[in-house]
Structure 1
Amino acid sequence: MPQFILKTRQNMSAGRAPEISALPALFMRRKSIPAYSEKGLGPRLPDTKKAVLDLLEGEELSGFSGVGIAMPGIVDPEKKRVLGLYKKYEDSKEMDLEGWCREVFGLPAFLEMDSKLALAGELHMGCGRGYEDAVMMILGTGVGTAVSLGGKILRSRNYTAGALASHIIVNLRGAACTCPNRGCLEAEASGWALPGLLRRHPGFSESGISGEEKLDFRSLQKWVLRKDPVAEEVLLRCVEVWRAGILNLIHAYDPQLVILSGAVMNFQGLFQKLTEGIERCIWDCCGPVVIKEAEYPEDSVLFGLYYLVRNGGVI
């Protein structure tokens, strides 16, 4: 589900980042509702409205200055429009979310892509503090990416620069992606791609993981720990693809810092597998590159939204 945040005028006017110890106070009230992304965003708006109003517990909306919305696709933050999504809330491309927020809440809306917000959140409040040139790779259902250069989230004429690195082709004869191409990084190694990776393995029917009700990274970890050869080979394939993605980001954008985030990073030992020896594959002219796990993987998007609304739509 796209993430929403309302910012109070008091927080907006503070003019400085809150202390790290005070961060939980920013989000004392929160609520999650089912995504149902395949059904579109329009049918979810009534429940979204109810969830927000329930969170307010009767508090007047006049005390708030804006609504921040994180979308899982390319966004024009100036026109406040969704430009590109595949297989998720595709109806949002035709929606006026700014108009909806003004009609329902009487507040302006500020939109941005979720991966860009996650990077902004980590740069301002997490593991990226003190860095200006950074890239982020988020491993989850899909693969999200974002880039910061000179302390600013990278934007291009169509707002895609740095945000579509998961659709760099890593296998010319690879699997069909959710986008119009084949062999994209995301199609070769991601949460949604994993069931296909497993089922296409010639030994799948004889593997213990074939009996799992749900083919996800949690079940993959279970069978990797049991030394199941199919599970181990599929994990190795994913690691190879993700390492290629990390190197592509480094060589494309020359960052000081690479941030790895997303639910898949909970996989036991994955950070070490992704980073061990990778410095030997980086061009020496790139200098040292630091690789870290996100400090706030669950909340970095919300922190990014905080800054988006506070700064009037700029991160």
Structure 2
Amino acid sequence: MKELYSIGADIGGTTVKLAVISTDGVIVKKWEIPTDTTNKGANITADIKTAIELALKELDLHKSSILGIGAGAPGFVDSSTGYINEAINIGWKNFDFGNELQELTGLPVWVDNDANLAALGENWLGAGRGVDNMIAVTLGTGVGGGIVANGEVINGANGTAAEIGHMLVKTSGGAPCNCGRSGCLETETSATAIVRKAKEKFQEYPDSNLSKLDNITAKDVFQAAHQGDRAAAEVLQNVTDTLGLALSNLTVVTNPSKIVLGGGVSAAGDQLLTPLKEAYDSYVLPRAGEACTFELAELGNDAGVIGGAFLVKQYHKG
């Protein structure tokens, strides 16, 4: 019997990650191409098509061996049509991406939000494997999320389900968000937020070791807190408390058995998980909290392409 494969594509503002993946989840080839954001991203679809053709030639795979393409894009995605309502970092707006990629490649295409695909990847082969109900959170420059409920990723009526980075957590005095509002979870708990809050703390703690650094990163804040820096410790206490409250509220909505944390900030490991779990436990409905464990994501940068392959596996007919 002929081996069949799927192609996962994870489209980011800097690179497009691509992979050819077998139906049992083995990555045969993975690679990246630059994301050409010129002319409002008009060349990206053709670049993906060319990259796939070259890879199949290199692997000596005929197109008939490919079940389809599962692609993830940032922003608001209508998964039922593959239509990108808006992807700010790329330049797409009201773009019929799924149909265009399908016409160019001649392959079936399924599209979803990139955070949803990362959640599917972790649910299939990563830290969330084998569970029907989970929340995946990506803590990086921004905050992304994906929710799997009863074995299915939640998309919502128009593709905005699980945009947890845009949960309003500060109703006054919050920092502006790229969604046009202020006080979103993204502006309070992302790596960007951690750095901003640390700089604000300098006024209160001018002797903080962080004030001596030229370019502060979230990693610097975690390291300073570990070394006893009070300003850094207070920043992280605020961040974990806010995130713990947000996750506890999501828990009573979806009742997950796992919350999986990924993204650059999650590299802090137990220094993040321990206070976050403490905050979560203090807020969550006890019975709902008893069913849920916290896990660090396992797939790293491969989560999106693996989730794309799973999307094909899930929806391909025949």
> TM-score scaled to structure 1, two decimals?
0.81
Residue correspondence of structure 1 range 235-250 to structure 2 within 5 A = 235-250=236-251
- Residue by residue, what CA displacement relative to the aligned partner does 1:12-57 show, whole Å, maximum 9, x if unpaired? 5xxxxx2xxxx4xx32322234557698433555654554445445
Q: Which residue of 2 aligns with 1:158?
A: 158
Q: For 1:205 and 1:101, locate their aligned partners in 2 and report how far apart those are by CA, in whole Å.
A: 53
Per mean C-alpha deviation after superposition, the further-off stretch among 203-212 and 291-300 is 203-212
Q: Which residue of 2 aligns with 1:293?
A: 296
Contact map agreement 1:198 1:204 (CA 8 A) in 2: no
- Residue by residue, what CA displacement relative to the aligned partner does 1:68-93 show, whole Å, maximum 9, x if unpaired? 211122211221111244x422x322
Q: Which residue of 1 aligns with 2:8?
A: none
> TM-score scaled to structure 2, two decimals?
0.81
Q: For 2:68 and 2:48, locate their aligned partners in 1 and report how far apart those are by CA, in whole Å.
A: 16
Structure 1 residues 44 and 209, CA gap change in structure 2 (3 angstroms): farther
2:231 aligned with 1:230: yes
Contiguous gaps of at least 5 residues in structure 2 = 1-10
Q: Determine which structure has the larger strand proportion and give its number.
A: 2
SS at match of 2:117: helix
Q: For 1:235 and 1:99, locate their aligned partners in 2 and report how far apart those are by CA, in whole Å.
A: 44
Residue correspondence of structure 1 range 111-190 to structure 2 within 5 A = 111-161=111-161, 163-173=162-172, 174-190=174-190
Contact map agreement 1:30 1:55 (CA 8 A) in 2: no
Q: 1:263 deviation in Å? A: 1.9
Q: Which residue of 2 aligns with 1:105?
A: 105
2:302 aligned with 1:303: no
Contact map agreement 2:45 2:101 (CA 8 A) in 1: no
Per mean C-alpha deviation after superposition, the further-off stretch among 37-46 and 254-263 is 37-46
Aligned length: 298
Q: Which residue of 2 aligns with 1:252?
A: 253
Contact map agreement 1:5 1:69 (CA 8 A) in 2: no
SS at match of 1:30: strand
Q: Which residue of 2 aligns with 1:41?
A: 41
Contact map agreement 1:4 1:69 (CA 8 A) in 2: no
Q: 1:6 deviation in Å? A: 5.9
Q: 1:141 deviation in Å? A: 1.4
Q: 1:190 deviation in Å? A: 0.6
Structure 1 residues 279 and 239, CA gap change in structure 2 (3 angstroms): closer
Among all aligned residue pairs of Structure 1 and Structure 2, give the percentage whose two residues are the same amino acid.
25
Q: For 1:45 and 1:192, locate their aligned partners in 2 and report how far apart those are by CA, in whole Å.
A: 30
Contiguous gaps of at least 5 residues in structure 1 = 13-17
Per mean C-alpha deviation after superposition, the further-off stretch among 48-57 and 177-186 is 48-57
Q: For 1:121 and 1:178, locate their aligned partners in 2 and report how far apart those are by CA, in whole Å.
A: 27
Structure 1 residues 48 and 136, CA gap change in structure 2 (3 angstroms): same
What amino acid sits opposite 1:219 in the alignment?
A: D
Q: For 1:234 and 1:166, locate their aligned partners in 2 and report how far apart those are by CA, in whole Å.
A: 18
- Residue by residue, what CA displacement relative to the aligned partner does 1:210-266 show, whole Å, maximum 9, x if unpaired? 343433222223322333332222222211221122112112222222222222111
Contact map agreement 1:110 1:309 (CA 8 A) in 2: yes
Q: Which residue of 2 aligns with 1:31?
A: 31
Q: For 1:63 and 1:142, locate their aligned partners in 2 and report how far apart those are by CA, in whole Å.
A: 37
Q: For 1:42 and 1:211, locate their aligned partners in 2 and report how far apart those are by CA, in whole Å.
A: 43
